[in-house]
Structure 1
Amino acid sequence: MTDPTALTSLSSALADIVARTAPSVVSVHSHRSYATGFAWKPGLIVTADETLADEGEVGIGLADGGRATATIAGRDHTTDIALLRVDAAIAPVRLTATVPPLGALSVVVATNRDTPSAALGMVSASGKSWRSLRGGDIDARIELDVRLRESQQGGLALDSTGEAYGMVVLGPRRVLVIPTATIERVATQLETRGRIARGYLGLGLQPVRLEDGIGVMVMYVDTAGPSAAAGIRQGDVIVAVNDQKLSGVRALAGTLGPSSVGAVVDVAALRGGEPVGFKVTVGERPEA
């Protein structure tokens, strides 16, 4: 027979966790969409980038029912993190770097179109770092078995002690958590620079199959870019970077993270079937 006292204690503990976190959680209204955000630092709110319109005013619904207007301080499409500036007194949440184990209970504290909301689920995947479909480096793979509405994206994922360990977003057929390590790394750069530096070769590429593997053909060269300066031309077929054979365009793009800017890379290519080599100083991708 189920012990009602145990269930009551669990219910009270979960309600207390939500109540302690809710003051740091806000609703975010951009164009016609609603999402959730949380206070990262005084005057700074982190939210899910995918939920923001490309332009226009961003409205903030505070936990006490008040309203405020925010501006976009910076955004990174590759990690789905956006940073907003707002003139409002919101208690920042304390983020923990702990990654919950597989099977652990998790509470999501968010909003649903200005209304506070909460959900209880389980960690269905907990693993190593991975790269998003847009090329962002995510420090841990965390998936939740929980139902999530669009407007709850940007909410906080809490462990069983009430510590916030990341931000929830909707992935393909699953709920993902962007972990604390990624949030701290990306939001810090957005606060200081407004954007994330990305490596830039100045090339338009297309994969081609070779006799001994896969290469990428240069379809376009930015005449003001680093590859043009190194001597790479349209029609060249790149086969390796720093002695590592390529498996496609995405593999090459994967080497162009923030730390690649300023690095000199050895590019091996074929020109008219003959091997050629270049030393390219990776530039910084210009703003779109």
Structure 2
Amino acid sequence: MSAAATPSLLVSLSAELSDLVGRVAPSLVAVRSSRSRASGFAWQADLIITAEEALADDGEISVDLPGGSTAAATIVGRDPSTDVALLRVEADLRPVTLSAPAVAAGGLVVAVGSVQSQPLPALGTVALAGPAWRSLRGGSIDARIELGLTLRREAEGGLVVDAHGHAFGMVVFGPRRRVLVIPTGTIERVAAKLRIDGRIVRGYLGLGLQPIRLPDGGAGVMIMSVAADGPGAAAGLLQGDVITGWNGKSVESLRAVQQDLGPDSIGRTVALSLRRAGADLQVQLTVAERPTP
């Protein structure tokens, strides 16, 4: 490559990246709540997708729209397990077209958020592209996509765009500040349910649990409380029992139990191995739907 050709390639790349950002910018908003600042994008003309983790539990929410105006927003629904929240605004936004292209490690991507009604882009690569997985809170995510880029906090909840201009998910922070993508399939599935029901149903044991280490070096979760009308009480579980097995598998952490309480767990019967006052027991428990708060 000649020295003379290098500047033209860089200029061309710069122009292409600016064009990608410009195409999605009319669909992006900045989201303000009492706890933080984040981004979001128009899923429908009056509905916005944003990162659930970035929203305060209460208080007012507003969004800075692409044209510079501000509008109040209300929460339609939120799902902590997939980090998807749905907001409604009295506005006529330009919905983004979400795609589900093949994603491969090494591909160039741009994560685009919004701050003060202006796009907030970050250039990087796909660091990891893997199969479906469950979040720490038990949510089913359609693909494991990690990005290699530096993301400003205000950009969380924004769009991820590939080199072809396809918006294929929402950018969020994962454990240890990893930058993750909630892909299109997950967003569409969860947002559709939130629009109708306002929440994603979760499995419920009716138990307060605490992870512990056993004297023999193993692990389990101790039952600290039992809801009187919950599935645990119906199965005869008692405060002080230690759950050591779940459907034949050792219980290594509380997280492992929580990850098995997704929407598809409701109505399922689980075989629990217990340790009670030094004795080992086997109990059958039927998972119920978590009550509405």
Q: Same fold (TM over 0.5)?
A: yes
CA distance in 1, matches of 2:182, 2:53: 13
Give the counterpart of 2:274 among 258, 262, 269: 269
Structure 2 residue aligned with 1:223: 228
Unaligned runs of 5+ in 1: none
Aligned length: 288
| Paired residues for 1:1-288 under 5 Å | 1-2=2-3, 3=5, 4-31=7-34, 33-171=36-174, 172-206=176-210, 207-209=212-214, 211=216, 213-288=218-293
Moved more, 157-166 or 49-58: 49-58
Q: Deviations over 1:110-132 (max 9, x none)?
A: 21233222221111222233333
> Residues 26, 5 of structure 1: CA spacing in aligned structure 2 closer, same or farther, 3 A cutoff?
same
CA distance in 2, matches of 1:38, 1:54: 20
Unaligned runs of 5+ in 2: none
Q: Deviations over 1:211-267 (max 9, x none)?
A: 484333222111111110111112222222222232232222221111101212222
> Residues 50, 28 of structure 1: CA spacing in aligned structure 2 closer, same or farther, 3 A cutoff?
same
CA distance in 1, matches of 2:253, 2:56: 32
Counterpart residue identity of residue 201, structure 1: L
CA distance in 1, matches of 2:217, 2:53: 40
Q: Deviations over 1:33-75 (max 9, x none)?
A: 3211001123210011122122222112111223221100111
CA distance in 2, matches of 1:238, 1:173: 32
Counterpart residue identity of residue 13, structure 2: L
Counterpart residue identity of residue 256, structure 2: A
Counterpart residue identity of residue 41, structure 1: Q
> Residues 208, 165 of structure 1: CA spacing in aligned structure 2 closer, same or farther, 3 A cutoff?
same
Percent identity (aligned): 52
CA distance in 2, matches of 1:270, 1:12: 65
CA distance in 1, matches of 2:258, 2:36: 31
CA RMSD of aligned residues (A): 2.0
> Residues 80, 91 of structure 1: CA spacing in aligned structure 2 closer, same or farther, 3 A cutoff?
same
Q: Deviations over 1:83-104 (max 9, x none)?
A: 1011211111111123521111
Is the 1:107–1:158 contact (alpha carbons within 8 Å) kept by the matching residues of 2?
Answer: yes
> How many angstroms does 1:21 deviate by?
1.0
SS at match of 1:190: helix
> How many angstroms does 1:32 deviate by?
5.8
CA distance in 1, matches of 2:134, 2:95: 28
CA distance in 2, matches of 1:147, 1:130: 23
